[in-house]
Amino acid sequence: MSDATANGIADTAAGRKPRRDIGIKKRYAAERRFKAYGIIAIAIGLSFLVMLMWSIFSKGYTAFWQTEIRVPITFSEEVLGTAEQANESQTKLLMANYPQLARDGLVQLLGINPDDKKAVSAANGLISSGTRVALRDIVMNDLSVIGRTEDVWLYASSELDSALKGQYDLSVEESRRPISDLQLQYIQKLQQAGAIEQRFNWGLFTSGASSRAETAGVGVAIIGSLYMMGIVLVLALPIGVAASIYLEEFAPKNRFTDLIEVNINNLAAVPSIVFGLLGLAVFINWFGLPRSAALVGGLVLTLMTLPTIIIATRAALRAVPPSIRAAALGLGASKNQTVFHHVLPLAMPGILTGTIIGLAQALGETAPLLLIGMVAFVADYPSTPLDPSTALPVQIYMWANEAERAFVERTSGAIIILLGFLAIMNVSAILLRRRFERRW
Protein backbone atom coordinates (compact mmCIF):
# COMPACT_ATOMS: atom_id res chain seq x y z
CA MET A 1 0.00 0.00 0.00
CA SER A 2 2.77 2.40 0.87
CA ASP A 3 4.44 1.53 -2.45
CA ALA A 4 1.32 2.57 -4.37
CA THR A 5 1.09 5.96 -2.70
CA ALA A 6 4.81 6.54 -3.14
CA ASN A 7 4.54 5.82 -6.86
CA GLY A 8 1.58 8.14 -7.16
CA ILE A 9 3.53 10.99 -5.65
CA ALA A 10 6.47 10.31 -7.93
CA ASP A 11 4.24 10.33 -11.06
CA THR A 12 2.61 13.64 -10.35
CA ALA A 13 5.93 15.09 -9.28
CA ALA A 14 7.45 14.24 -12.67
CA GLY A 15 5.00 16.51 -14.46
CA ARG A 16 5.61 19.58 -12.38
CA LYS A 17 8.73 21.28 -11.12
CA PRO A 18 11.05 18.98 -9.11
CA ARG A 19 9.78 18.68 -5.57
CA ARG A 20 11.71 19.36 -2.45
CA ASP A 21 13.93 16.36 -1.67
CA ILE A 22 12.31 14.69 1.31
CA GLY A 23 14.91 11.91 1.39
CA ILE A 24 12.72 9.20 -0.10
CA LYS A 25 15.71 7.47 -1.65
CA LYS A 26 17.58 7.50 1.61
CA ARG A 27 14.59 6.18 3.45
CA TYR A 28 14.12 3.36 0.98
CA ALA A 29 17.78 2.51 1.20
CA ALA A 30 17.44 2.36 4.96
CA GLU A 31 14.41 0.14 4.50
CA ARG A 32 16.35 -2.24 2.24
CA ARG A 33 19.28 -2.28 4.64
CA PHE A 34 17.02 -3.05 7.56
CA LYS A 35 15.40 -5.91 5.71
CA ALA A 36 18.82 -7.23 4.72
CA TYR A 37 19.90 -7.25 8.38
CA GLY A 38 16.96 -9.51 9.13
CA ILE A 39 17.83 -11.88 6.31
CA ILE A 40 21.49 -11.91 7.33
CA ALA A 41 20.54 -12.65 10.94
CA ILE A 42 18.39 -15.60 9.90
CA ALA A 43 21.09 -16.80 7.53
CA ILE A 44 23.67 -16.70 10.34
CA GLY A 45 21.34 -18.58 12.67
CA LEU A 46 20.62 -21.26 10.11
CA SER A 47 24.26 -21.55 9.08
CA PHE A 48 25.15 -22.19 12.73
CA LEU A 49 22.62 -25.01 12.70
CA VAL A 50 24.11 -26.43 9.51
CA MET A 51 27.67 -26.17 10.82
CA LEU A 52 26.74 -27.86 14.08
CA MET A 53 24.97 -30.71 12.36
CA TRP A 54 27.65 -31.10 9.72
CA SER A 55 30.38 -31.12 12.35
CA ILE A 56 28.63 -33.83 14.37
CA PHE A 57 27.52 -36.02 11.49
CA SER A 58 30.72 -35.82 9.46
CA LYS A 59 32.73 -36.86 12.50
CA GLY A 60 30.24 -39.34 13.82
CA TYR A 61 28.76 -41.40 11.01
CA THR A 62 31.87 -43.61 10.85
CA ALA A 63 31.25 -44.69 14.43
CA PHE A 64 28.50 -46.95 13.16
CA TRP A 65 31.08 -49.03 11.33
CA GLN A 66 33.80 -50.96 13.00
CA THR A 67 36.78 -52.56 11.32
CA GLU A 68 37.05 -56.27 11.95
CA ILE A 69 39.72 -58.77 11.02
CA ARG A 70 39.05 -62.38 10.09
CA VAL A 71 41.60 -64.43 11.98
CA PRO A 72 41.90 -68.20 11.95
CA ILE A 73 41.95 -69.01 15.65
CA THR A 74 43.25 -72.32 16.89
CA PHE A 75 41.55 -73.01 20.16
CA SER A 76 44.51 -75.00 21.39
CA GLU A 77 44.26 -77.32 24.35
CA GLU A 78 47.64 -76.07 25.47
CA VAL A 79 46.16 -72.71 26.34
CA LEU A 80 42.63 -73.65 27.25
CA GLY A 81 43.00 -77.09 28.73
CA THR A 82 40.95 -80.00 27.44
CA ALA A 83 37.17 -80.00 27.22
CA GLU A 84 36.99 -82.57 30.02
CA GLN A 85 38.95 -80.31 32.33
CA ALA A 86 36.68 -77.45 31.39
CA ASN A 87 33.63 -79.48 32.30
CA GLU A 88 35.02 -80.04 35.76
CA SER A 89 36.17 -76.55 36.53
CA GLN A 90 35.69 -73.38 34.57
CA THR A 91 38.40 -71.44 36.36
CA LYS A 92 41.02 -72.32 33.81
CA LEU A 93 38.74 -71.33 30.95
CA LEU A 94 37.95 -68.01 32.59
CA MET A 95 41.58 -67.17 33.24
CA ALA A 96 43.07 -68.53 30.00
CA ASN A 97 45.32 -66.40 27.84
CA TYR A 98 42.89 -65.59 25.03
CA PRO A 99 44.89 -62.68 23.61
CA GLN A 100 47.65 -65.22 22.90
CA LEU A 101 45.23 -67.24 20.74
CA ALA A 102 44.37 -64.11 18.76
CA ARG A 103 48.00 -63.15 18.40
CA ASP A 104 49.06 -66.63 17.24
CA GLY A 105 46.24 -66.69 14.72
CA LEU A 106 47.19 -63.32 13.28
CA VAL A 107 50.90 -64.18 13.18
CA GLN A 108 50.04 -67.31 11.24
CA LEU A 109 47.72 -65.42 8.91
CA LEU A 110 50.40 -62.83 8.12
CA GLY A 111 53.13 -65.44 7.85
CA ILE A 112 55.41 -63.76 10.35
CA ASN A 113 58.22 -65.58 12.07
CA PRO A 114 56.87 -66.13 15.61
CA ASP A 115 60.34 -65.46 17.05
CA ASP A 116 60.54 -61.96 15.57
CA LYS A 117 59.37 -60.09 18.66
CA LYS A 118 59.11 -56.72 16.95
CA ALA A 119 56.98 -58.02 14.09
CA VAL A 120 54.74 -60.00 16.43
CA SER A 121 54.07 -57.04 18.66
CA ALA A 122 53.37 -54.86 15.62
CA ALA A 123 50.84 -57.41 14.40
CA ASN A 124 49.36 -57.71 17.87
CA GLY A 125 48.78 -53.97 17.89
CA LEU A 126 46.30 -54.42 15.06
CA ILE A 127 43.74 -56.34 17.07
CA SER A 128 41.80 -54.99 19.98
CA SER A 129 42.72 -56.18 23.43
CA GLY A 130 39.00 -56.53 23.94
CA THR A 131 39.23 -59.86 22.09
CA ARG A 132 39.67 -61.61 25.45
CA VAL A 133 35.97 -61.32 26.20
CA ALA A 134 34.86 -62.12 22.66
CA LEU A 135 36.92 -65.31 22.44
CA ARG A 136 36.04 -66.38 25.95
CA ASP A 137 32.34 -66.07 25.14
CA ILE A 138 32.80 -68.28 22.07
CA VAL A 139 34.53 -70.98 24.09
CA MET A 140 32.17 -70.78 27.06
CA ASN A 141 29.15 -71.11 24.79
CA ASP A 142 30.45 -74.11 22.92
CA LEU A 143 33.13 -76.24 24.54
CA SER A 144 33.39 -78.47 21.47
CA VAL A 145 35.33 -75.70 19.75
CA ILE A 146 38.39 -76.56 21.84
CA GLY A 147 41.06 -78.15 19.73
CA ARG A 148 39.61 -76.92 16.44
CA THR A 149 40.62 -74.01 14.23
CA GLU A 150 37.94 -71.58 13.17
CA ASP A 151 37.75 -68.26 11.38
CA VAL A 152 36.65 -65.56 13.83
CA TRP A 153 35.92 -61.91 13.11
CA LEU A 154 37.79 -59.91 15.72
CA TYR A 155 37.57 -56.19 16.48
CA ALA A 156 40.51 -54.33 15.07
CA SER A 157 42.34 -51.98 17.42
CA SER A 158 41.16 -48.39 17.46
CA GLU A 159 44.43 -47.30 15.77
CA LEU A 160 43.82 -49.58 12.79
CA ASP A 161 40.17 -48.55 12.74
CA SER A 162 41.04 -44.86 12.71
CA ALA A 163 43.74 -45.38 10.07
CA LEU A 164 41.35 -47.16 7.71
CA LYS A 165 38.71 -44.48 8.23
CA GLY A 166 41.26 -41.89 7.14
CA GLN A 167 41.39 -40.12 10.49
CA TYR A 168 45.20 -40.13 10.64
CA ASP A 169 47.47 -38.27 8.32
CA LEU A 170 49.57 -41.19 7.07
CA SER A 171 51.98 -39.03 5.11
CA VAL A 172 53.78 -37.72 8.19
CA GLU A 173 56.90 -39.23 9.66
CA GLU A 174 56.51 -42.69 11.13
CA SER A 175 57.32 -41.75 14.71
CA ARG A 176 54.65 -39.06 14.74
CA ARG A 177 51.70 -41.29 13.96
CA PRO A 178 50.21 -44.06 16.04
CA ILE A 179 50.50 -46.66 13.32
CA SER A 180 53.88 -47.82 11.99
CA ASP A 181 54.99 -48.57 8.44
CA LEU A 182 55.26 -52.26 9.27
CA GLN A 183 51.68 -52.25 10.45
CA LEU A 184 50.63 -50.52 7.23
CA GLN A 185 52.23 -53.33 5.27
CA TYR A 186 50.32 -55.86 7.32
CA ILE A 187 47.09 -53.98 6.73
CA GLN A 188 47.66 -54.08 2.97
CA LYS A 189 48.37 -57.78 3.18
CA LEU A 190 45.18 -58.37 5.13
CA GLN A 191 43.18 -56.26 2.70
CA GLN A 192 44.49 -58.27 -0.23
CA ALA A 193 43.50 -61.45 1.54
CA GLY A 194 40.02 -60.01 2.12
CA ALA A 195 40.45 -60.49 5.83
CA ILE A 196 39.60 -56.90 6.78
CA GLU A 197 36.08 -55.61 6.63
CA GLN A 198 34.07 -52.67 7.91
CA ARG A 199 31.01 -54.10 9.57
CA PHE A 200 28.02 -52.51 11.23
CA ASN A 201 28.93 -51.67 14.79
CA TRP A 202 26.28 -53.33 16.94
CA GLY A 203 28.59 -53.01 19.92
CA LEU A 204 28.01 -49.27 19.96
CA PHE A 205 24.39 -49.93 20.88
CA THR A 206 24.90 -52.82 23.27
CA SER A 207 28.19 -52.37 25.14
CA GLY A 208 28.87 -50.41 28.28
CA ALA A 209 31.68 -48.12 29.30
CA SER A 210 35.14 -49.27 28.34
CA SER A 211 38.56 -47.71 28.37
CA ARG A 212 39.12 -49.02 24.83
CA ALA A 213 37.28 -47.11 22.17
CA GLU A 214 36.53 -50.16 20.01
CA THR A 215 34.65 -51.97 22.76
CA ALA A 216 32.91 -48.94 24.25
CA GLY A 217 29.20 -48.48 23.65
CA VAL A 218 26.18 -46.60 24.87
CA GLY A 219 23.96 -49.62 25.60
CA VAL A 220 24.27 -49.34 29.37
CA ALA A 221 23.77 -45.58 29.23
CA ILE A 222 20.64 -45.99 27.12
CA ILE A 223 19.19 -48.37 29.71
CA GLY A 224 19.99 -45.86 32.47
CA SER A 225 18.32 -43.10 30.47
CA LEU A 226 15.29 -45.32 29.85
CA TYR A 227 14.91 -45.98 33.58
CA MET A 228 15.03 -42.26 34.24
CA MET A 229 12.55 -41.48 31.48
CA GLY A 230 10.23 -44.12 32.93
CA ILE A 231 10.45 -42.58 36.39
CA VAL A 232 9.89 -39.09 35.00
CA LEU A 233 6.87 -40.29 33.04
CA VAL A 234 5.34 -42.15 36.00
CA LEU A 235 5.82 -39.26 38.42
CA ALA A 236 5.77 -36.05 36.41
CA LEU A 237 2.77 -36.82 34.21
CA PRO A 238 0.21 -37.52 36.99
CA ILE A 239 1.56 -34.84 39.33
CA GLY A 240 1.81 -32.27 36.57
CA VAL A 241 -1.67 -33.00 35.26
CA ALA A 242 -3.16 -32.93 38.76
CA ALA A 243 -1.48 -29.63 39.57
CA SER A 244 -2.63 -28.08 36.30
CA ILE A 245 -6.20 -29.28 36.79
CA TYR A 246 -6.27 -27.71 40.22
CA LEU A 247 -4.78 -24.42 39.09
CA GLU A 248 -6.86 -24.16 35.94
CA GLU A 249 -10.22 -25.59 37.03
CA PHE A 250 -10.58 -25.44 40.80
CA ALA A 251 -8.22 -22.91 42.31
CA PRO A 252 -9.82 -19.83 43.79
CA LYS A 253 -7.96 -16.63 43.00
CA ASN A 254 -6.07 -16.01 46.20
CA ARG A 255 -2.59 -15.51 47.55
CA PHE A 256 -1.85 -19.21 47.81
CA THR A 257 -2.63 -19.99 44.18
CA ASP A 258 -0.80 -16.83 43.14
CA LEU A 259 2.22 -18.05 45.04
CA ILE A 260 2.04 -21.43 43.32
CA GLU A 261 1.88 -19.78 39.92
CA VAL A 262 4.82 -17.50 40.52
CA ASN A 263 6.69 -20.51 41.83
CA ILE A 264 6.05 -22.63 38.78
CA ASN A 265 7.11 -19.84 36.45
CA ASN A 266 10.28 -19.39 38.44
CA LEU A 267 11.10 -23.08 38.61
CA ALA A 268 10.88 -23.22 34.82
CA ALA A 269 13.75 -20.74 34.69
CA VAL A 270 15.95 -22.03 37.53
CA PRO A 271 19.30 -23.29 36.15
CA SER A 272 19.27 -27.06 35.87
CA ILE A 273 22.44 -27.44 37.91
CA VAL A 274 20.59 -26.09 40.95
CA PHE A 275 18.27 -29.11 40.70
CA GLY A 276 21.38 -31.26 40.87
CA LEU A 277 22.38 -29.58 44.13
CA LEU A 278 18.86 -30.17 45.45
CA GLY A 279 19.08 -33.84 44.51
CA LEU A 280 22.46 -34.21 46.17
CA ALA A 281 21.41 -32.51 49.41
CA VAL A 282 17.90 -33.93 49.73
CA PHE A 283 17.71 -37.31 48.01
CA ILE A 284 21.25 -38.52 48.65
CA ASN A 285 22.25 -36.77 51.86
CA TRP A 286 18.96 -36.71 53.76
CA PHE A 287 17.04 -39.67 52.37
CA GLY A 288 20.17 -41.78 52.00
CA LEU A 289 19.41 -42.98 48.48
CA PRO A 290 22.46 -44.41 46.71
CA ARG A 291 24.65 -42.22 44.55
CA SER A 292 24.64 -42.68 40.76
CA ALA A 293 21.30 -44.50 40.93
CA ALA A 294 18.80 -44.00 38.13
CA LEU A 295 16.12 -43.47 40.79
CA VAL A 296 17.75 -40.28 42.08
CA GLY A 297 18.36 -39.07 38.54
CA GLY A 298 14.73 -39.74 37.71
CA LEU A 299 13.51 -37.81 40.75
CA VAL A 300 15.71 -34.82 39.98
CA LEU A 301 14.63 -34.79 36.34
CA THR A 302 10.99 -35.11 37.45
CA LEU A 303 11.23 -31.93 39.51
CA MET A 304 12.93 -30.25 36.58
CA THR A 305 10.35 -31.36 34.01
CA LEU A 306 7.28 -30.62 36.13
CA PRO A 307 7.05 -26.90 35.25
CA THR A 308 7.25 -27.70 31.52
CA ILE A 309 4.47 -30.26 31.77
CA ILE A 310 2.33 -28.02 33.97
CA ILE A 311 2.64 -25.06 31.60
CA ALA A 312 1.77 -27.22 28.57
CA THR A 313 -1.13 -28.92 30.35
CA ARG A 314 -2.63 -25.64 31.49
CA ALA A 315 -2.51 -24.33 27.94
CA ALA A 316 -4.25 -27.50 26.74
CA LEU A 317 -6.96 -27.22 29.42
CA ARG A 318 -7.50 -23.56 28.62
CA ALA A 319 -8.01 -24.44 24.96
CA VAL A 320 -11.09 -26.54 25.80
CA PRO A 321 -14.04 -24.20 25.24
CA PRO A 322 -16.16 -23.23 28.26
CA SER A 323 -19.31 -24.46 26.46
CA ILE A 324 -18.20 -28.07 27.08
CA ARG A 325 -18.04 -27.40 30.81
CA ALA A 326 -21.33 -25.55 30.79
CA ALA A 327 -23.05 -28.41 28.97
CA ALA A 328 -21.76 -31.04 31.37
CA LEU A 329 -22.63 -28.99 34.44
CA GLY A 330 -26.04 -28.26 32.97
CA LEU A 331 -26.79 -31.95 32.60
CA GLY A 332 -26.11 -32.48 36.29
CA ALA A 333 -22.50 -33.60 36.33
CA SER A 334 -20.50 -32.57 39.36
CA LYS A 335 -17.52 -30.27 38.94
CA ASN A 336 -15.17 -33.25 39.24
CA GLN A 337 -17.14 -35.29 36.74
CA THR A 338 -17.09 -32.39 34.30
CA VAL A 339 -13.32 -32.09 34.53
CA PHE A 340 -12.40 -35.75 34.56
CA HIS A 341 -15.02 -37.09 32.15
CA HIS A 342 -15.14 -34.27 29.62
CA VAL A 343 -12.45 -31.60 29.83
CA LEU A 344 -9.48 -33.85 30.50
CA PRO A 345 -10.07 -36.30 27.62
CA LEU A 346 -10.43 -33.38 25.22
CA ALA A 347 -7.20 -31.83 26.49
CA MET A 348 -5.28 -35.13 26.36
CA PRO A 349 -3.50 -34.65 23.00
CA GLY A 350 -2.14 -31.31 24.14
CA ILE A 351 -1.07 -32.78 27.47
CA LEU A 352 0.72 -35.69 25.79
CA THR A 353 2.49 -33.34 23.40
CA GLY A 354 3.72 -31.25 26.32
CA THR A 355 4.79 -34.37 28.19
CA ILE A 356 6.80 -35.70 25.26
CA ILE A 357 8.56 -32.35 24.88
CA GLY A 358 9.27 -32.32 28.62
CA LEU A 359 10.68 -35.85 28.39
CA ALA A 360 12.88 -34.85 25.47
CA GLN A 361 14.21 -31.98 27.53
CA ALA A 362 14.91 -34.35 30.43
CA LEU A 363 16.63 -36.86 28.14
CA GLY A 364 19.19 -34.30 26.99
CA GLU A 365 19.88 -32.87 30.45
CA THR A 366 23.37 -33.46 31.77
CA ALA A 367 24.39 -30.97 34.44
CA PRO A 368 22.25 -32.13 37.40
CA LEU A 369 23.21 -35.75 36.73
CA LEU A 370 26.90 -34.92 37.09
CA LEU A 371 26.31 -33.78 40.66
CA ILE A 372 24.47 -36.89 41.80
CA GLY A 373 27.36 -39.13 40.85
CA MET A 374 26.32 -40.41 37.46
CA VAL A 375 29.79 -39.69 36.10
CA ALA A 376 30.65 -43.28 36.78
CA PHE A 377 32.39 -46.01 34.88
CA VAL A 378 29.47 -48.40 34.50
CA ALA A 379 30.19 -51.45 32.37
CA ASP A 380 27.23 -53.62 33.41
CA TYR A 381 23.56 -53.20 32.72
CA PRO A 382 21.73 -51.86 35.78
CA SER A 383 19.04 -54.37 36.72
CA THR A 384 17.04 -52.06 38.99
CA PRO A 385 16.76 -48.26 39.21
CA LEU A 386 18.81 -48.46 42.42
CA ASP A 387 21.90 -49.90 40.73
CA PRO A 388 24.71 -47.64 39.61
CA SER A 389 23.95 -46.45 36.13
CA THR A 390 24.78 -43.67 33.77
CA ALA A 391 22.83 -41.70 31.22
CA LEU A 392 23.31 -41.10 27.52
CA PRO A 393 24.30 -37.42 27.77
CA VAL A 394 26.59 -38.16 30.72
CA GLN A 395 28.27 -40.90 28.70
CA ILE A 396 28.81 -38.34 25.95
CA TYR A 397 30.33 -35.97 28.49
CA MET A 398 32.71 -38.65 29.73
CA TRP A 399 33.77 -39.63 26.23
CA ALA A 400 34.22 -35.98 25.27
CA ASN A 401 36.94 -35.83 27.92
CA GLU A 402 38.85 -38.79 26.45
CA ALA A 403 41.89 -37.80 24.44
CA GLU A 404 42.03 -40.68 21.96
CA ARG A 405 41.06 -39.90 18.37
CA ALA A 406 38.73 -42.89 18.18
CA PHE A 407 36.69 -41.54 21.08
CA VAL A 408 35.91 -38.35 19.16
CA GLU A 409 34.21 -40.54 16.59
CA ARG A 410 32.41 -42.53 19.30
CA THR A 411 31.26 -39.36 21.02
CA SER A 412 29.86 -37.97 17.79
CA GLY A 413 28.20 -41.33 17.16
CA ALA A 414 26.63 -41.25 20.61
CA ILE A 415 25.44 -37.69 19.96
CA ILE A 416 23.84 -38.85 16.72
CA ILE A 417 22.01 -41.56 18.66
CA LEU A 418 20.89 -39.01 21.27
CA LEU A 419 19.73 -36.58 18.58
CA GLY A 420 17.95 -39.47 16.89
CA PHE A 421 15.97 -40.19 20.06
CA LEU A 422 15.15 -36.50 20.46
CA ALA A 423 14.09 -36.20 16.82
CA ILE A 424 11.77 -39.20 17.17
CA MET A 425 10.21 -37.74 20.31
CA ASN A 426 9.72 -34.28 18.87
CA VAL A 427 8.38 -35.53 15.55
CA SER A 428 5.91 -37.79 17.33
CA ALA A 429 4.82 -34.81 19.45
CA ILE A 430 4.22 -32.78 16.29
CA LEU A 431 2.34 -35.64 14.61
CA LEU A 432 0.23 -36.17 17.71
CA ARG A 433 -0.67 -32.51 17.72
CA ARG A 434 -1.51 -32.50 14.00
CA ARG A 435 -3.55 -35.68 14.21
CA PHE A 436 -5.63 -34.95 17.29
CA GLU A 437 -5.65 -31.22 17.64
CA ARG A 438 -9.15 -29.80 17.45
CA ARG A 439 -9.98 -26.28 16.49
CA TRP A 440 -13.13 -25.14 18.26
Q: Does 343 bind another protein (CB under 8 A)?
A: no
Chosen residue from 134, 184, 274, 432 binding another protein by CB under 8 A: 274
Interior angle at CA 31, CA 26 and CA 35, nearest 5: 145
Distance (Å, rounded) from C-alpha 140 to C-alpha 143? 6
Chosen residue from 7, 12, 19, 28 binding another protein by CB under 8 A: 28
Q: Does 331 bind another protein (CB under 8 A)?
A: no
Chosen residue from 133, 143, 247, 346 binding another protein by CB under 8 A: 247
Q: Does 155 bind another protein (CB under 8 A)?
A: no
Q: Give which of 222, 60, 87, 198 is closest to 142, Cα–Cα.
A: 87
Select from 92-100, 142-150, 221-229, 417-425 the region that touches another protein (CB under 8 A).
417-425
Looking at the chain, how many residues does it have? 440
What are the residues whose beta carbons fall under 8 Å from the beta carbon of 391, sequence distance 6 or more? 221, 224, 225, 228, 294, 297, 366, 369, 374
Select from 13-21, 199-207, 257-265, 343-351 the region that touches another protein (CB under 8 A).
257-265
Distance (Å, rounded) from C-alpha 173 to C-alpha 169? 10
Select from 80-88, 128-136, 178-186, 333-341 the region that touches another protein (CB under 8 A).
333-341
Comparison of 234 and 259: residue with beta carbon closer to another protein: 259
Could you count the other beta carbons within 10 Å of the beta carbon of residue 131? 26
Q: What mask, x for binding another protein by CB under 8 A, covers residues 299 to 328?
A: ----x--xx--x------------------
Interior angle at CA 136, CA 135 and CA 142, nearest 5: 95
Could you count the other beta carbons within 10 Å of the beta carbon of residue 201? 22
Chosen residue from 408, 410, 413, 417 binding another protein by CB under 8 A: 408
Chosen residue from 226, 324, 386, 432 binding another protein by CB under 8 A: 386
Q: Does 397 bind another protein (CB under 8 A)?
A: yes
Least distance (Å) between residue 297 CB and another protein: 14
Interior angle at CA 141, CA 137 and CA 146, nearest 5: 90
Q: Does 273 bind another protein (CB under 8 A)?
A: yes
Chosen residue from 365, 389, 413, 417 binding another protein by CB under 8 A: 365
Q: Give which of 138, 142, 131, 149 is closest to 83, Cα–Cα.
A: 142
Q: Does 4 bind another protein (CB under 8 A)?
A: no
Helices 405-436/24-60 angle, 10° precision:
120
